[in-house]
Amino acid sequence: MKKIIFCLYFFSLVYHSYGGNKADTGDHSPEVAKVGVLFVNISELDMSDNSFHADFYLWCRWKGTINPLKNIEFSNLEDEWSFSDTDLHDSAILLKDSFYYNSFHVRGKFTHNFKLHHYPFDKQEISIQLKNSIYTSDELVYSADSINTNFEPDITIPGWKIENLRCKSLQHKYSSNLGLPENKDNDSYNNVSFSLTLSRPVQYFFWKLLLPVFIVLLSSLGSTVIHPKYVDARIYAPIGALLTTVFLEQSYSSKLPDISYLILLDKIYLIVYIAILAGIFHAIYTANIVRDGSNISIKRAQRLDKIYLIILGGLLLVSPLIFLV
* Domain around 164: 31-200
Q: What's the CATH code of the domain at 286?
A: 1.20.58.390
Look at residue 24 and tell me if it is in a domain: no
Average pLDDT in the chain: 83
For a pLDDT cut of 90, what percent of the chain falls above it?
Answer: 27
Look at residue 88 and tell me if it is in a domain: yes
Do 177 and 210 lie in one domain? The reply is no
For 17, which DSSP code? I
Domain boundary among 148, 176, 200: 200
Domain boundary among 160, 178, 200: 200
Do 135 and 270 lie in one domain? The reply is no
State the pLDDT confidence band at 227, using cuts at 50, 70 and 90.
confident
Where is pLDDT greater, at 164 or 16? 164
Do 180 and 248 lie in one domain? The reply is no
Number of structural domains found in the chain: 2
The CA-atom distances, in angstroms, between 159 and each of 43, 122, 143, 155, 199 are: 11, 12, 32, 12, 9
Do 212 and 250 lie in one domain? The reply is yes
Do 108 and 161 lie in one domain? The reply is yes
Look at residue 71 and tell me if it is in a domain: yes
H or E segment to which residue 23 belongs:
helix 21-24
Look at residue 20 and tell me if it is in a domain: no
Look at residue 22 and tell me if it is in a domain: no
Q: Is the pLDDT of residue 175 over 90?
A: no
87-96, 164-173, 266-275 — most confident range: 266-275
Look at residue 279 and tell me if it is in a domain: yes
State the pLDDT confidence band at 291, using cuts at 50, 70 and 90.
confident
Instruction: Look at 39-43, 104-108, 155-159, 183-187 and tell me which has the smallest mean pLDDT.
Output: 183-187
Do 58 and 194 lie in one domain? The reply is yes
Do 137 and 262 lie in one domain? The reply is no
Q: Is the pLDDT of residue 2 over 60?
A: no
State the pLDDT confidence band at 185, using cuts at 50, 70 and 90.
low
Look at residue 4 and tell me if it is in a domain: no
The CA-atom distances, in angstroms, between 178 and each of 133, 175, 184, 185, 322 are: 10, 9, 10, 9, 48
Note the pLDDT tens digit of each residue in 106-150: 999 999 999 988 888 889 999 999 988 788 888 888 999 999 999
Handedness of CA 318, 124, 120, 110 (dihedral sign): negative
| Three-state SS at 67 | coil
d(CA 53, CA 45): 7
Look at residue 14 and tell me if it is in a domain: no
Q: Report whether 199 contacts 210 (CB < 8 A).
A: no
In this prediction, residue 6 carries a pLDDT of: 45
Domain boundary among 159, 179, 200: 200
